Amino acid sequence: MTSDPAQHRDATARRKRAAQECLDRRWDTIREISTGLHADPETAWHEVRAHRRLTALLASEGFTVDPRAGGLDTAFRATAGSGPVHVAFVAEYDALPGLGHACGHNLIAAASVGAALMVRAAEDAVPGAGLTVHVIGTPAEEGGGGKILMLEAGQFADIDAAMMMHPGPADAARAEPFAVAHWEVTYRGVGAHAAAYPHLGVNAADGFTVAQVAIGLLRQHLPPTVRVHGVVTEAGTAPNAVPDLATGRWYVRAASLSELDDVERRIRACFTAGATATGCELRIRDESPRYSEFRTDEQLLGWFVDNAAALGRDMTSPPPDGAAAMRTASTDMGNVSQHVRAIHPYLGIGSLPAVNHQRAFADAAVGPLAERALRDGATALAWTAIDFAAHAAATSRCTHSDRAR
């Protein structure tokens, strides 16, 4: 039996006001999460200080914190409340090697923590929402697949909705990330003096030369949804020595895991050709589990779009030139979305012409426009969680046991 819809609407409005008042009171704390992480970047699996900063803050706010969620040293799960509807705000906090927070994960972590504080405050002010709020801290999004390991460890098993915002060059409601495989590629050859005994050597660097030529020729036959890119990280140390070892990191992307299966087979053949042509030994190792394409929950997204509009953001207009492609960047949040209702909207930080993974984007991830995205992102996430809980209360649906996936 459902109660009076007008009562639900009034309670929802009051909870949203309470959430907004919490943001106003705690703004300095939330902003300092972002600026602190930005000033102290740490790469995947090494987010020790970021982990310490976030878990200490959440514990001080009364959240129950598991500091090694899923058995990962820099993962965490913080929980407050005891309602039947479980909402997770997902935090990322790893930076890019040599680029700092050029993907704005400092803003993601701050928005998720801020949203959790706001929802908890709203429940305290207007009890009865039935929410349990979680912040799930996920390491190594940049190629390590931390969320996938946490998903496999059951950290999302009781979650009804998982949400995060991601900074970008412009607003975009819908994430459309590609599936991706991350490879470490190694060729082993035979070293020799390059002038005196070249005939005794097997040049490991030549394996990559052949493979990259083969990949370049294959590109004209690949679907437009496929991306292949990589770097050679080692290929010898002296010009007069035939390299006996060459290593690289390669990413292979496609619109779905099923498409990725076929593309991986074809790209592996290119690397095998490098080994066959040069006589090198080849090893391809997966650096992480494969990232899945993203599955957006339309109802959650609709609430988020409406809430962002109330804050003055139009999430429905096409992104400007140079910004739309960001939606297709891969994320391990895609794997979460295959099991849990999820959204992954982008909020613009006014960075154009700079885009994600450029140094200038890292510069843009702090400052007035980044702070506006942080405020709006935290607010829209919190309000969307409140809408979700209100819908669950009004319809007796949307709890974990009733998930329709």
64-80: pLDDT as tens digits: 999 999 999 999 999 99
Average pLDDT of 354-376? Answer: 97
* pLDDT at residue 52 in the model: 98
* pLDDT at residue 321 in the model: 72
Task: Kindly indicate the confidence band of residue 2, based on its pLDDT and cuts at 50, 70 and 90.
Answer: very low
Q: Where in the chain is the domain with CATH 3.40.630.10?
A: 5-177+291-402
pLDDT at residue 392 is higher than 50? yes
For the segment(s) 179-286, the CATH number from 3.90.1640.10, 3.30.70.360, 3.30.70.2340, 3.40.50.300 is: 3.30.70.360
Note the pTM of the prediction, 2 decimals: 0.89
Q: Where in the chain is the domain with CATH 3.30.70.360?
A: 179-286
CATH class for the region spanning 5-177+291-402: alpha beta
* 317-348: pLDDT as tens digits: 887 776 666 667 899 999 999 999 999 999 99
* 129-164: pLDDT as tens digits: 899 999 999 999 998 999 999 999 999 999 999 999
- How many Å apart are CA 379 and CA 309, to the nearest integer? 11
* pLDDT at residue 401 in the model: 42
* pLDDT at residue 1 in the model: 38
Single-letter code of the amino acid located at 320? P
Average pLDDT of 177-190? Answer: 96
Chain-wide mean pLDDT for the chain?
A: 94
* 111-132: pLDDT as tens digits: 999 999 999 999 999 998 899 9
* 236-294: pLDDT as tens digits: 999 999 999 999 999 999 999 999 999 999 999 999 999 999 999 999 999 999 999 99
* pLDDT at residue 394 in the model: 73
* pLDDT at residue 244 in the model: 97
* pLDDT at residue 326 in the model: 66
pLDDT at residue 297 is higher than 50? yes
- How many Å apart are CA 118 and CA 110, to the nearest integer? 12
pLDDT at residue 402 is higher than 60? no
- How many Å apart are CA 305 and CA 162, to the nearest integer? 16
